């Protein structure tokens, strides 16, 4: 038995050492949404560790105390049916813990489904992020530019990603800025993010989408607003326009490097018309809701316009 316990100890030591390594991406947030999530994660790890320790301690106690080898031969374990008070405690404490976590969970749900906290008074930057096998296309309709497989964003400004897919379900994920959301072909999802500090982050599709899934990543660079504007200007001066023909070529299955265009594919290849009504319910601020509806009706108009052509 001693060898086995020694092995177990080694396992736990290795795990503890691993935790000590450089911060894990999700627990090293660079934006308000990711921070909310990281706080929830740390809080729940704390509470859950307490439960784990209690269960381990109880198990160790009964195993040490009530082993047959530690008892007299004629000891007969008693017949016990159960006890209302003991069982009420076993129900009551978990109920309290779950109630508390539910409270936190619901609160965070409304936080991550709205404009990031502290960013409410700033105008959001809307970016359409669409996936095709196995690439990401980022369209900046206000700026009139489009990129493939890389994403430049300003810091200290709310970001509103409109997600959809040309193909299988994918999931848009930048761990250090916030959790993921699905991009699907028959509806547009909205993901609210924000970056507090400049830096380079990993972004990827997290939802399995076939052969090229593993390499379905993109680079994210957050920069101060002035620098971002400079970049937009530069793109407008230097990049080629994205044409319908060119875009269809881009949609072909395969992998591409970083690409930059002026104009967006939204003009000739609009996003799906299905809207996610769920997420607009979640907006606490009626003002935001108002703008969001306005935006969506704007894009509806655009779409009908193009359909007419």
Partner 1 sequence: MDYFDRFAIPHPSPVIYASMVAIGITVLAIIAGLTYFKKWGYLWREWLTTVDHKRIGIMYLISALLMLFRGGVDAIMLRAQLSVPENKLLDAQHYNEIFSTHGVVMILFMAMPFIIALMNFVVPLQIGARDVAFPRLNALSFWLFFMGAMLFNISFVVGGSPDAGWTSYFPLAGNEFSESVGTNYYMIAIQIAGIGTLMTGINFMTTILRMRAPGMTLMKMPMFTWSSLITNLIIVFAFPVLTVTLAMGTMDRLFGTNFFTTDNGGMDMLWANLFWVWGHPEVYILILPAFGIYSEVISTFARRNLYGYKSMVASMVAISFLSFLVWAHHFFTMGQGALTNSIFSITTMAIAVPTGVKIFNWLLTLWKGKIVITTPMLYSLLFIPLFTLGGVTGVMLGMSAADYQYHNTMFLVAHFHMVIIPGVIFAMLAGLTYYWPKMFGFMLNERIGKWAAWLIAIGTLVAFMPMFFSGLDGQARRMYTYSESTGFGIYNMISFIGALVLAVGFVLIVYNIYYSTRYASRDISSDPWDARSLEWATHTPVPEYNFAILPQVNSTEALWDAKKKGHVLFKGEYEKIHMPNNSGVPFIMGCIFFAWGFSFVFGMWIPLILTTIGIFACMALRSFEKDHGRYISVEEIEETETKLRGAN
270 binds partner 1 (CB under 8 A): no
Question: Which lies closer to partner 1 via its Cβ, residue 32 or residue 263?
Answer: 32
Paired with 288 in beta bridges are none
Which CA distances in Å does 234 have to 120, 145, 150, 260, 279? 29, 11, 16, 11, 35
In the numeric block, the tokens 């930048």 are attached to: 174
Q: Which structure tokens are listed for 28?
A: 């090293």
CA distance 113 to 125: 16
- Chain centroid offset of residue 283 CA: 18
Q: Considering only residues 25, 239, 251, 259, which one is a binding residue for partner 1 as defined by CB under 8 A?
A: 25
Stretch that binds partner 1, among 81-89, 233-241, 259-267, 289-297 (CB under 8 A): 81-89
Which of 262, 269, 273, 276 is the binder for partner 1 (CB under 8 A)?
276
237 near partner 1 (CB under 8 A): no
Alpha helix stretches (DSSP H) within 149-224: none
Burial string for 214-248 (b: 16+ CB within 10 Å, else e) reads: eebbbebbbbeeeebeebbeebeeebeebeeeebe
Q: Interface with partner 1 includes 56 (CB under 8 A)?
A: yes
Is 187 one of the binding residues for partner 1 (CB under 8 A)? yes
Contacting residue, 144, 156, 199, 206, with partner 1 by CB under 8 A:
206
Residues 143-172 interacting with partner 1 (rule: CB under 8 A): 167-169, 171
The residue count for binding partner 1 (CB under 8 A) is 98
Q: Which of 13, 105, 243, 294 binds partner 1 (CB under 8 A)?
A: 105
List the interface residues with partner 1, window 58-77 (CB under 8 A): 58-59, 62-63, 66-68, 71, 75-77
Q: Which of 30, 162, 181, 265 binds partner 1 (CB under 8 A)?
A: 181
Three-state SS for 170? Answer: strand
Give me the phi and psi of 10, to 5 degrees please: -60, -45
Piece of 202-210, 219-227, 238-246, 301-309 that binds partner 1 (CB under 8 A): 202-210
């Amino acid at each position: 038995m001693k060898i086995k316990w020694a092995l177990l100890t080694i396992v736990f030591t290795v795990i503890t050492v691993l935790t000590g390594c450089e911060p894990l991406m999700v627990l090293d947030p660079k934006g308000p949404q990711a921070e909310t999530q990281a706080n929830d994660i740390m809080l729940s790890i704390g509470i859950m560790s307490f439960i784990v320790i209690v269960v381990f301690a109880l198990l160790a106690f009964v195993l040490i105390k009530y082993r047959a080898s530690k008892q007299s031969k004629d000891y007969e374990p008693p017949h016990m049916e159960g006890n209302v008070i003991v069982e009420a405690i076993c129900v009551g404490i978990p109920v309290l813990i779950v109630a508390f976590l539910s409270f936190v969970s619901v609160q965070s749900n409304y936080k991550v489904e709205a404009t990031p906290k502290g960013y409410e008074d700033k105008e959001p930057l809307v970016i359409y992020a669409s996936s095709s096998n196995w690439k990401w296309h980022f369209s900046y309709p206000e700026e009139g530019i489009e990129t493939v497989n890389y994403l430049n964003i300003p810091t200290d400004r709310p970001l509103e990603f409109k997600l959809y897919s040309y193909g299988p379900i994918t999931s848009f994920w930048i761990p250090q800025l916030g959790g993921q959301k699905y991009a699907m072909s028959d509806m547009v999802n909205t993901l609210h993010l924000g970056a507090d500090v400049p830096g380079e982050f990993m972004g990827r599709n997290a939802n399995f989408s076939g052969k090229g899934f593993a390499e379905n990543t993109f680079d994210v660079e957050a920069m101060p607003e002035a620098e971002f504007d400079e970049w937009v200007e530069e793109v407008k001066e230097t990049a080629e326009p994205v044409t319908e023909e060119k875009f269809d070529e881009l949609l072909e299955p395969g992998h591409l490097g970083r690409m930059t265009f002026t104009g967006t594919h939204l003009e000739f290849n609009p996003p799906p018309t299905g809207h996610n009504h769920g997420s607009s319910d979640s907006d606490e601020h009626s003002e935001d809701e108002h703008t969001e509806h306005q935006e969506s009706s704007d894009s509806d108009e655009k779409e009908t316009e193009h359909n007419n052509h």
